[in-house]
Homo-oligomer: A and B are copies of this chain.
Amino acid sequence: MPAPFQHLALIGLGLIGSSIALAVKKYLPTLRISAFDLSETVRQRALDLGLADLVAHQPGDAVTGADLVIMCVPVGSMKAAAESVAGHLLPNAVISDVGSSKAAVAAQLRKALPHARIVPAHPISGTENSGPDAGFPELFANRWCIITPAGNADPEDVGKLSTFWTMLGARVEIMAAAHHDRVLAVTSHIPHLIAFAMMGTAADLERVTQSEIIKYSGGGFRDFTRIAASDPTMWRDIFLTNKEAVLERLQSFTQELSTLQEAIHAEDGEALASFFTRAQAVRRGIVE
């Protein structure tokens, strides 16, 4: 497959940006990479790690000549990142991102770059680590990447971006931004919110010590801790930009929890067992 682009610009070199750089070097070695990060420390680290052919000191310089620009910044910084490259873009450049909420981000990109060829995307992959040292080229291998083009997007741009992610090892799916946001609220955003809340509960104990929680975390608690390690800024922005879908799902979750709470309070064993049996069936469906 020929490379769908010639020159990639990455704005932001955290876990995702640095992993894209390393995956491109491995799977699309002909692609030129230029990059920018707001943090001078990160820029220096990117040079040391050899993540890009050019690490620019200004975002405008990073995107100059690029036919694919990917914004790899927290979703709350998308607008500022897009504004910082306005006026430096090639007219035919495809502008994309990697944000975990899509409708709000797309609106921000469109506002900042009204004439750009915007094709938002979300590679569903990550680890609990952050920063340019956390990146690795296999991060996207066999993981889904959801592309959420607006109705008026050029099918050729969508096809090229789809090819790009496929060549990085991802499986590509295309859906509407609003639908993406509803799906991810359930499969990712609410689980993270719950994991964060669970850590809060564990921090706030009088008679049980932290060391006891650590010692006995294998009983279930440990399953929650991995995702509670994710970057706080990134998650703040996700909840602020996918507010409606998250609040809707959160309400459903608290209703389920309250049903369980009432059943425990009333010592209604039948209600508990039938709830758990249904839950187990859902889980089986998901795993099989």
Binding site for B on A (CB under 8 A): 76, 100, 124-125, 143-144, 146, 173, 179, 182-184, 186-205, 207-208, 210, 212-230, 232-233, 235-237, 239-240, 243, 246-247, 249-250, 252-254, 256-261, 264-265, 267, 269, 272-273, 275-280, 282-287
What are 25 A-B interface contacts by the 8 Å CB criterion? Answer: A124-B219, A144-B216, A144-B218, A146-B216, A179-B208, A183-B212, A186-B205, A187-B212, A187-B216, A187-B219, A191-B221, A194-B224, A196-B275, A200-B256, A201-B252, A210-B285, A214-B286, A223-B223, A228-B283, A233-B273, A235-B272, A239-B272, A243-B265, A250-B257, A254-B258
User: Cβ of B286 and Cβ of A204 under 8 Å apart?
Assistant: no
Q: Which residue of B lies closest to A269 (CB)?
A: B236
A sample of 5 more A-B contacts (CB under 8 A), given A200-B278, A240-B267, is A187-B220, A200-B256, A201-B249, A203-B279, A210-B285
CA distance A240 to B268 in the complex (A): 8
Contacts of A249 in B (CB 8 A): 201
- Is A182's CB under 8 angstroms from B199's CB? no
Query: In the complex, how many angstroms separate the beta carbon of A287 from the nearest chain B beta carbon?
Result: 6
A198's partner among B194, B246, B280 (CB-CB below 8 A) is B194
Distance (Å) between the CB of A273 and the closest chain B CB?
A: 4
Shortest A71–chain B CB gap in Å is: 19
**Docked CA distance A80–B283 (Å):** 31
A200–B239 contact, CB under 8 A? no
Residue of B nearest to A232 (CB): B276
Determine the residue in chain B with the shortest Cβ distance to A209.
B183
> Which chain B residue lies CB-closest to A287?
B225
Q: B229 touching A199 by the CB < 8 A rule?
A: no
Taking the closest CB of chain B, its distance from the CB of A198, in whole angstroms, is 7
Chain B residues with Cβ under 8 A from A215's Cβ?
A: 144, 173
